[in-house]
Amino acid sequence: MRIEGKEYRTIWFENNVVKIIDQTKLPHHFIIKELKTVNDAVNAIKVMEVRGAPLIGATAAYGLVLAIIEKNDKSFLEKSANHLIASRPTAINLKWAVDRMMNKLSGINSNQILNVALNKAKEICDEDEKFCENIGVNGLKLIENIYNKKKDRVNILTHCNAGWLATINWGTATSPIYYAHKKGIPVHVWVDETRPRNQGANLTSYELNEEEISNTIIADNTGGILMQRGEVDMCIVGTDRTLSNGDVCNKIGTYLKALAAHDNNVPFYVALPSSTIDWDIKDAKDIPIEERNSEELSHVEGVDENNEIKKVLIYPTKSKAMNLAFDVTPAKYVTGLITERGITEASFDGLKKLFK
Ligand code: MRU
């Protein structure tokens, strides 16, 4: 997708380094950062210079490429794989990508391993881009249906950033929106700010602006009243891990949006590539929910009059804060899953029909 008219993907390999767009500096500064070691990759995932389930998977895949460049040694590679998997706990794509890389690399001799790893990391990225494009094609039909009935602007609410910045390109939740816009359907996006890290305001709104798609940032608690007023035609969100029974783990606050959508008969869709399906965990209670530093709540970041990023304290100094980063929306509140293979109900049978 475009930034200032120029096409980018979110991660690429060039001159023996991995290049990423540093998302901690957006929307104020567009900075391309180089990752030179596997530790750089682990750190970029931890501090969320890269984030979003598919992109952290791709970064981990390239992290293993960097590990091989640093030290072409089996035990270093295995240690690196474990570090990468441990860098963030909730998004299943991280383990999915590392396992895929390690399976491919097992038994490959040291002369060939770098080439094989590079090709596999690129394949993971290319495949994610294709999956996200297909999610767009499939999800477009839902937006078209609403537009054909309504004959007026389609209002879509989204939470967090499940846009192209969270993937390699296109995004998951945003891909149907980009397709609808390209087709000339008038769309408008209600962008949940998504406290505490403001991925909606800082990233989703930013990327929609760059593609000239109408959007309005709202505080996280505003979606309910907009749905009561009939100003939301559908919700589309992303996911970090969807269980085979259709339960959806995504950014904190997704569950409350799904409850409000259910109460107001607003369709609530989740867009995901198959790399985000967890076929193993059966009970949502077993999903590891990341708890991040409470400083993300107690402090806010923005730019000062010199366009420099500053962080300020907004809470009473004595107050405690708790920062759970994800929640789980039970399948019964999910109208459908938009995947690269089609749209299905959020259930084991639905997913099995498409993927097994
Ligand atoms: O903590 P983040 O910013 O990595 O959380 C991202 C989300 O919750 C996204 O909605 C999810 O990863 C889907 S991205 C296509």
**Residues 289-320 pLDDT 10s:** 999 999 999 999 999 999 999 999 999 999 99
Long-range contacts of 297-304, Cβ-Cβ distance < 8 Å, separation of 24 or more: 297/195, 297/196, 297/321, 297/322, 297/323, 302/28, 303/28
Question: pTM to 2 decimals?
Answer: 0.97
- Domain extent, residue 295, equals 135-354
Residue at which a domain ends, from 74, 95, 127: 127
Question: Domain containing 309 — which CATH number?
Answer: 3.40.50.10470
Interacting residues of 270 by C-beta distance below 8 A, sequence separation 6+: 236, 237, 238, 239, 242, 248, 250, 329, 334, 336, 337, 338, 346
- What is the number of structural domains in the chain? 2
Q: Is the C-beta atom of 253 inside 6 A of ligand 1? A: no
Residue at which a domain ends, from 72, 107, 127: 127
Report phi then psi at 233, rounded to 5.
-85, -30
CA of 306 to the centre of ligand 1 (A): 30
Active centre residues (catalytic): 240
> Based on the number of CB atoms within 10 Å of its own CB, is 304 exposed (0-12), middle (13-18) or buried (19 or more)?
exposed
Tell me the residue length of the chain: 356
- Nearest partner of 47 among 338, 301, 265, judged by Cα: 301
Question: Domain containing 109 — which CATH number?
Answer: 1.20.120.420
Q: Is the C-beta atom of 95 inside 6 A of ligand 1? A: no
Per-residue pLDDT at 356: 79
Q: Is the C-beta atom of 199 inside 6 A of ligand 1? A: yes
Q: Are residues 100 and 153 in the same domain?
A: no
The average pLDDT across 181-190 equals: 98
Query: What secondary structure does DSSP assign to 236-259, as a single string?
Result: EE--SEEETTS-EEEETTHHHHHH
CA of 220 to the centre of ligand 1 (A): 15
DSSP for residue 15: T
Where in 108-161 does DSSP place strands (E)?
154-158
Q: Is the C-beta atom of 325 inside 6 A of ligand 1? A: yes
Among protein residues, the one whose CA lies closest to atom 15 of ligand 1: 162
Give the tens place of pLDDT for each residue, 118-161. Answer: 999 999 999 999 999 999 999 999 999 999 999 999 999 999 99
Residue 312 DSSP SS3? strand
- Nearest partner of 126 among 167, 173, 95, 156, judged by Cα: 167
CA of 251 to the centre of ligand 1 (A): 6
Pocket test for ligand 1, best of 250, 270, 324 (most atoms within 8 A of CB): 250
Q: Are residues 199 and 333 in the same domain?
A: yes
